[in-house]
Chain A
Amino acid sequence: QVQLQESGPGLVKPSQTLSLTCTVSGGSIRSGGYYWSWVRQHPGMGLEWIGYIYPSGSGTTHCHPSVHRLVTISVDTSKNQFSLKVSSVTAADTAVYYCARLGALVWDFDLWGRGTLVTVSS
């Protein structure tokens, strides 16, 4: 079955760029009907949608307005991966970051990675 796995540094210095990759296994990232997404959860807090990418064509992306200037989501279909970059991070970006598959019909996250904790600290 399809599985997602996040990877990347667990510690990032303030003002630097946070970079994470999500590897999709057991299925193609090009399979239609899904957006590939990032969601984060600050310590002890709720879930926050960051953005998604649709791999077809040039790779349509859409991000939450509160973060879109700092966030880049990209896809590498040859590696069956998609990535997240958050620039100019601060302590407020410390969170568990999840990659997830988002259904295009009813906007449901039906598959999730295990999540990875990223701490922003000097």
Chain B
Amino acid sequence: QSVLTQPPSVSGAPGQRVTISCTGSSSNIGAGFAVNWYQQVPGTAPKLLIYDDTNRPSGVPERFSGSKSGTSASLAITGLLAEDEADYYCQSYDSILSGVIFGGGTKLTVL
């Protein structure tokens, strides 16, 4: 069971907007530790999508955005494309574990 909770799956039609939630606790997200998001196409390594809650690495489209409030964070994807179909993971740091934690992952299906 992951320390960070994500919905197992989300779906949307091309062009639509979807959001993926990531719920933590007072020892990780709620403590102010950064939330990072990764995209993983099956069979490939994860790719950093959002870092430090809201920042996009160079080359990541503006369609991807992150937000954080309290003990939760969200990843929003607008203008869905077929190529966005992948697994998405949130990640942070936990002060009780004194280590890195991941969410269980969310499978995005583009209908």
Residue numbers of A with Cβ under 8 A of B are 37, 46-49, 51-52, 62-65, 98, 102-103, 105-110, 112-115
Residue numbers of B with Cβ under 8 A of A are 2, 33-34, 36, 38, 40, 44-48, 51-52, 57, 89, 91-93, 97-105
Which one of A47, A110, A114 contacts B51 once the chains associate, using CB atoms below 8 Å?
A110
Q: Do the beta carbons of A64 and B99 come within 8 Å of each other?
A: yes
In the complex formed, the residue of A with least CB distance to B105 is A46
Q: Do the beta carbons of B38 and A109 come within 8 Å of each other?
A: yes
Shortest B88–chain A CB gap in Å is: 11
Chain A contacts for B2, CB-based, 8 A: 46
Which one of B44, B48, B104 contacts A108 once the chains associate, using CB atoms below 8 Å?
B48
Q: Do the beta carbons of A107 and B33 come within 8 Å of each other?
A: yes
Query: Which of A47, A49, A113 has most B Cβ within 10 Å?
Result: A47
Ordered by A's residue number, 11 sampled pairs between the chains whose C-beta atoms are within 8 Å are A46-B105, A47-B46, A47-B91, A49-B101, A105-B52, A106-B34, A108-B91, A109-B46, A109-B91, A110-B51, A113-B45
Chain B contacts for A52, CB-based, 8 A: 100
Chain A contacts for B103, CB-based, 8 A: 46
**Bound form: Cα–Cα A46–B2 in Å:** 9
Q: Do the beta carbons of A47 and B93 come within 8 Å of each other?
A: no
Q: Do the beta carbons of B89 and A112 come within 8 Å of each other?
A: no
Chain B contacts for A62, CB-based, 8 A: 98-99
**Bound form: Cα–Cα A52–B46 in Å:** 17
Chain B contacts for A108, CB-based, 8 A: 34, 36, 48, 51-52, 91
